[in-house]
Amino acid sequence: MAEMSRRDWMKGATAAWAIAQSGWGAVAALGAELPHGRPARGERHFTSAAVEALIPRIQRGMGDAALATIFENCFPNTLDTTVWPGSFEGKPDTYIVTGDIDAMWLRDSSAQMWPYLTLAKEDAKLRELLEGAIRRQARMILLDPYANAFMRDATAAPLSWAVNDKTEHHAGVGERKWEVDSLCYPIRLAHGYWRETGDTRPFDARWKEAAWTIVRTFRAQQRKQGPGPYSFERESAVPYDTVPLGGFGNPALPVGMIFSMFRPSDDACIYPLFVPANLFAVVSLRQLAALATHALDDAKLAQEAEALAAEVERALEQYGKAQHAKFGEIWAYEVDGYGNALMMDDANAPGLLSLAYLGCCRVDDPLYLRTRQLVLSESNPYFFRGKAAEGVGGPHEGLNMIWPMSIMYRALTTTDEQEIRQCLRWLRDTTAGTGFMHESFGKDDAMKFTRPWFAWANTLFGELVVKLATERPSLLAAALD
């Protein structure tokens, strides 16, 4: 199919969403072949020579034509549609939206850029784009370490649903939901960038101060000296969109874990000791210690980061687990330090399923495997099995809505090739004829989906395919049906 302009691409995405609501028959009329849905070359926000070379190289090794088309659409989607390269104080600056929301999340932007890191060494323009993201994230953290989303600049109003929040809003903040993972992801991106390129240019005095701010914020949110400076209140008909007790959240003991008011879904925690984010923080703090030693030459920061990681790890060992009647000892999803534990999972990362993907454990770790069994079973209230697929959802979009990201994390955290192949089939068959991933879809009807333009899910799909092409090329080369 001919390439589309950006305007036509957006119109097409919206039309596909509308068509999807009317059932499979309408999409069948579009033809059996999935659309090649990238914007026209002149309408793309950024083009990487390395990415453009990789796409056909990977496609040549793919045995499923539909899957190859989805990869072509999805892998470059962040670069094609969501990045705004620029400069700030004469240095690279990159603003990144999630897709259909004009705001930059610390979490989403890090995850969206992650799959391109391995190509940065061979593409100077791409390396500069990544450097710009790292630099902007440092400025965002210094603006407000408790915020999760930021606007394009200080002149933009907060996100429409956040304008009446009863919390402090600095100019340039989009939303101020405190999530531990929001400060972990920028460390992960920065550490991955440094590891892949060896480049220390982004790690200047501003980045060092942002790193210290992360450590201080984590320390404050251990809440040993009280709740600290953060609270959040919002008038909302959705309970998960705000937190109780004057905005300080449900009570929990200060056992050494870091309190989180919200999950990576932007939904409020029930118990504020959110286990997956604390496990992620242990990994991130140790990555920060490595950066402090090798890129920042700051031995004190390295020592502080390592000490905090060790303390959180000890607390997790003592308080972060639960005993399940069927699966035995597992990681809990949330705890309160009083002995109460929530045993479930949500599709977003960090979650229990994505722990191995984020480097919190090995894929064959027995504790993780038992936890994974719970996540992918009816013992998890947000695991859904239907006619279209099976996977994990969450409160954010409600019951019976599967998030494709959960299917991707399932494939990324197993060595079972049959399981991976089944995940690829589900992903291939649930794009509702659009050739792109979505936020969620109905377990019995993939035509019922949310967010036609969700770059994190698109790029994560591309990351999965690239990983399989590298590690399991024969699996990718075989036909799925």
User: Residue 425 pLDDT > 70, yes or no?
Assistant: yes
Residue 481: pLDDT band with limits 50, 70, 90: confident
Q: What percentage of the chain exceeds 90 in pLDDT?
A: 91
Range list of β-strands (E), 287-327: 321-324
Residue 346: pLDDT band with limits 50, 70, 90: very high
User: Residue 27 pLDDT > 60, yes or no?
Assistant: no
Residue 112: pLDDT band with limits 50, 70, 90: very high
Specify the DSSP class assigned to residue 155.
T
User: Residue 17 pLDDT > 80, yes or no?
Assistant: no
User: Residue 28 pLDDT > 60, yes or no?
Assistant: no
What is the reported pLDDT for 11? 43
What is the dihedral sign for C-alpha 387, 350, 278, 414?
A: positive
User: Residue 12 pLDDT > 60, yes or no?
Assistant: no
- Mean pLDDT within 270-296: 98
CB 173 within 8 A of CB 147: yes
Q: Enumerate residues 6+ apart whose C-beta is below 8 A from 131.
A: 91, 92, 94, 193, 199, 201, 202
Cβ-count burial of 153 within 10 angstroms (0-12 exposed, 13-18 middle, 19+ buried)? Answer: exposed
Could you read off the pLDDT of 165-199 as tens digits, one per residue?
999 899 999 999 999 999 999 999 999 999 999 99
User: Residue 298 pLDDT > 90, yes or no?
Assistant: yes
What is the reported pLDDT for 8? 45
- Nearest Cα neighbor of 250 from 259, 238, 241 is 259
User: Residue 9 pLDDT > 60, yes or no?
Assistant: no
Could you read off the pLDDT of 55-86 as tens digits, one per residue?
999 999 999 999 999 999 999 999 999 999 99
- Nearest Cα neighbor of 107 from 66, 149, 144, 76 is 149
Could you read off the pLDDT of 353-383 as tens digits, one per residue?
999 999 999 999 999 999 999 999 999 999 9
Range list of β-strands (E), 10-145: 83-88, 91-96, 104-105
Q: What gap in Å lies between CA 298 and CA 30, rounded to an integer?
A: 58
